[in-house]
Structure 1
Amino acid sequence: MPFQVSLSGLNAASSDLNVTANNVSNVNTTGFKRSRANFMELFATGLQSVSSNATGQGVRLASVDQQITQGNIDFTENNLDLAISGDGFFTLNDGGATTYTRAGAFGVDRNGFVVNATGARLQVYPEQGDEFNTGQLEDLRLITTDSAPQASSEVEAGLNLPADAIEPGVAFDPDDPDSYNHTRSVTIFDSLGTEHQATYYFRKTANDNEWEVHLQINDDPVGGAELIEFDGSGSLIDPPGGTLNFGIWTPPTGADDIDLDTDFSNTTQFGSAFTVNNLTQDGFASGRLIGVDISEEGVVFARFTNGQSDALGKVALTSFANPQGLEKIGDTAWAETFESGQALRGEARTGSFGVIQSGALESANVNLTEELVNMITAQRNFQANAQMISTADNITQTIINIR
């Protein structure tokens, strides 16, 4: 009987060494979760098993439990590297099967899909207006086409016109600097993304606190002169609301007509210096994809050369009532099981799903020092059980040699 008991001990120590060796071998595996071997005592069935004097029959491996605890966050220089600080898992589409992982080392395949090393595609909630449809999952795909241009529709002009300006002595002529007091230009865009120069000319009138404003686009006059008027304290009083519209201008590129509003509400008439505090417009040209940003909430933004960014989706996170019950399927991925409970979909920064860190990876939660101590302990257990077998063999040999 000691042979069988000690043999079970050898098997248990060997299993413990296997679990420890697997932990040590994956110490540098991104998103890896260490395991722990649990053992149970064996008793023979029958009447003897209920006796307080029953002798145990050895040991068996009861389970290998995963330790789903947080690993350290290591920062990288790749925006598509993602780490979760919390209980959530990344959701993946692996050839039609839904899998889960904590390993956030993602890249882009030749079709623009964001994938891990095995080609499983990262799942996101699609954009729906200003929100995200959390009831639907889709593969995250980076935009490979140019960002569409936007035609200019408004210019914001924050200027100061000098209060001591005098009326020019000649009629307005954009080619004659003596016919106006000041001028400024701003680049605007048509619906095809083509640049045009919009130039404003400011000319003091004979009336106190009153100015003429002329607009030309690409040297073409747009409408006629418009008036702006200030009160005695230098604040704009006309036009009401501060917005002027000079009329429609038709680009020569075949683009849609430009109907440009100019907001002078932040324009003043103070002092003796002409200053430009703000002169901006809302149009932009087409742009090429130059990068991807991912917020702590998991929103994926595509950045373009025209300074614009588009939301491509929101990273879908999943949690489980019993993450230790997940089935390991290799490649640092898990599958849902009955023991894990049903998958609960969610978003970063909500509940216990955690926060997403872009440009970072979660390292394995393996404590190498602890594993080496476990290895020594398992080795001693193996040696002790082997010695027990040797002792039992000596006893058996002694009995056989009795004459």
Structure 2
Amino acid sequence: MSNAALHVARTGLDAQSNRMRVIANNLANVNTTGFKRDRASFETLAYQAITSAGATSSADNKYAVGTNLGSGVQINGTARIDTQGSNQQTGNALDMAIEGSGYFQIQMPDGKTGYTRAGDFSQSAEGKLVTTDGMPLIPEVTIPEGASKITIGADGTVSATLAGQSEASELGKIQLARFTNPAGLESVGNNLLTETAASGTAQIGDAGVEGRGAIRQGSLEASNVNITEELVDMIECQRAYEVNSKMIKATDEMLQYVNQQL
């Protein structure tokens, strides 16, 4: 039994260590545009049934309760908390925040489509709207050289006044993607998420309709990480780790006692 207790405590150490990694990643990305914090969730490992409730204990009696011994804990997943981050005004015409549900679509180097809430876009040498890593926005929007008074509507319509013209011209329209289960999207780094079987297929359309949020020009969505909340979780995690460490020490002392006395 003491050896089993050592195993249970070890699973607790592993689980809390992974939880601390999740918390550390949240805190590291407190200033990352559009970042959504993660939360570690736990589940019990298999139980060993010594006696079952309702099993016969004697000729005329049955056990009222059973004896089930757990074998520990493990992390069964990390859930992304998709609450809205605060909008920060930047004054940059190419900065965009999504107010509500939805993701910008990005053409990744391998040809796949990535999805992001980070709307800090720039222009490439050809005038295309791209991420800070140079990956183009989908659908492609190109702003000609010399264009001024760039405006992006709440529905994603991009307009600008071209050189030699007095009236604004429409240059394209940014469309957003939404998912049935956005928590099922897979994080791949560079502020990008990719579609999975759990997320469902991307539902592409105009901003502001069919559940997609509106686009706010000149703003960026801040991370939704709450530093105070993360620090509280960190202290709780640290204490849980310490308790499991003490459990290993106590179990080891019990084994030493048995070896010395028997």
**TM-score calculated relative to the size of structure 1:** 0.59
Structure 2 residue 252 is the aligned partner of structure 1 residue 396: no
Q: Which residue is 2:193 aligned to?
A: 334
Correspondence 1:294 to 2:147: no
Question: Which portions of structure 1, spanning 4 or more consecutive aligned residues, are displaced by more than 6 angstroms?
Answer: none
Deviations 1:89-141 (A, max 9, x none): 011112322111000000011121110012111123xxxxxxxxxxxxxx111
Query: Does residue 1:105 correspond to 2:120, yes or no?
Result: yes
- Identify, as 1 or 2, the structure richer in strand: 1
8 Å CA contact retained: 2:177, 2:205: yes
- TM alignment of 1:1-400, pairs within 5 A: 1-44=4-47, 47-48=49-50, 52-95=66-109, 96-124=111-139, 139-144=140-145, 288-304=146-162, 306-400=165-259
Specify the code of the residue in structure 2 equivalent to 1:143.
P
User: Which position in structure 2 is the counterpart of 1:232?
Assistant: none
For the residues of structure 2 that align with 1:289 and 1:102, how far apart are their CA atoms?
Answer: 26
Contact 1:4 1:58 in 2 (8 A): yes
Letter in 2 for 1:340: S
Inter-partner Cα distance in structure 1 for 2:249 and 2:239: 15
Relative to structure 1, the CA distance from residue 401 to residue 325 in structure 2 (aligned partners, 3 Å threshold; closer, same or farther) is: same
Residue 323 of structure 1: CA displacement?
0.2
- Where in structure 1 are there 5+ consecutive unaligned residues? 125-138, 145-287
Say if 2:144 and 2:162, in contact at 8 Å, map to a contact too.
no
The CA deviation at 1:351 is: 2.1
For 2:162 and 2:128, how far apart are their aligned partners in 1?
A: 18
The separation in 1 between residues aligned to 2:52 and 2:227, in whole angstroms, is 42
Q: Which residue of structure 1 aligns with residue 59 of structure 2?
A: none
Q: How far does residue 304 in structure 1 lie from its aligned partner after superposition?
A: 3.2
Asked if 1 retains the 8 angstrom alpha-carbon contact of 2:102 and 2:176, the reply is yes
CA distance in 2, matches of 1:366, 1:340: 23
Aligned-residue offset at 1:50: 5.1
1:267-310, Cα deviation, whole Å (9 max, x unpaired): xxxxxxxxxxxxxxxxxxxxx42241111111001223542211
The normalised TM-score by structure 2 is: 0.90
Deviation per residue, 1:236-278 (Å, 9 max, x gap) = xxxxxxxxxxxxxxxxxxxxxxxxxxxxxxxxxxxxxxxxxxx
- Which residue of the partner structure matches residue 128 of structure 1? none
- Match for 2:156: what amino acid? G
Residue 53 of structure 1 and its aligned partner are, at CA, apart by: 1.1
CA distance in 1 between counterparts of 2:21 and 2:83 reads: 21
CA distance in 2, matches of 1:143, 1:110: 10
Deviation at 1:375, TM superposition (A): 0.2
> Which amino acid in the other structure matches residue 18 of structure 1?
R
Rg larger for: 1
TM-aligned CA distance change 1:14 to 1:120, over 3 Å = same
Going from structure 1 to structure 2, the CA distance change for 1:384 and 1:340 (only over 3 Å counts) comes to same
Instruction: Specify the code of the residue in structure 2 equivalent to 1:321.
Output: T
Give the whole-Å Cα distance in 2 for the aligned partners of 1:314 and 1:371.
Answer: 38
Distance in 1 between residues matched to 2:260 and 2:201, nearest whole Å = 64
Alpha-carbon separation, structure 2, partners of 1:123 and 1:29: 22
Q: Is the 8 A contact 1:294 1:358 kept in 2?
A: yes
Separation of aligned partners in 1, 2:52 and 2:157: 61
Structure 2 stretches lacking a partner, 5+ long: 54-65
Q: Report the number of matched residues.
A: 245
Q: Let me know the Cα RMSD of the aligned residues.
A: 1.4
What amino acid sits opposite 1:304 in the alignment?
A: L
Using the aligned pairs only, state the percent identity.
38
Q: How has the CA–CA distance of structure 1 residues 71 and 50 changed in structure 2, closer, same or farther, with 3 Å as cutoff?
A: farther
Give the partner amino acid of 2:94: L
Higher helix share: 2
Q: Which amino acid is 1:33 matched to?
A: K
**Separation in 2 of the partners of 1:50 and 1:11?**
30
Instruction: State the AA in 1 paired with 2:138.
Output: Q
Asked if the contact 1:43/1:49 (under 8 Å) is kept, the reply is: no
Equivalents in 2 of 1:317, 1:377: separation in Å? 38
Residues 386 and 68 of structure 1: CA distance in aligned 2, closer, same or farther (over 3 Å): same
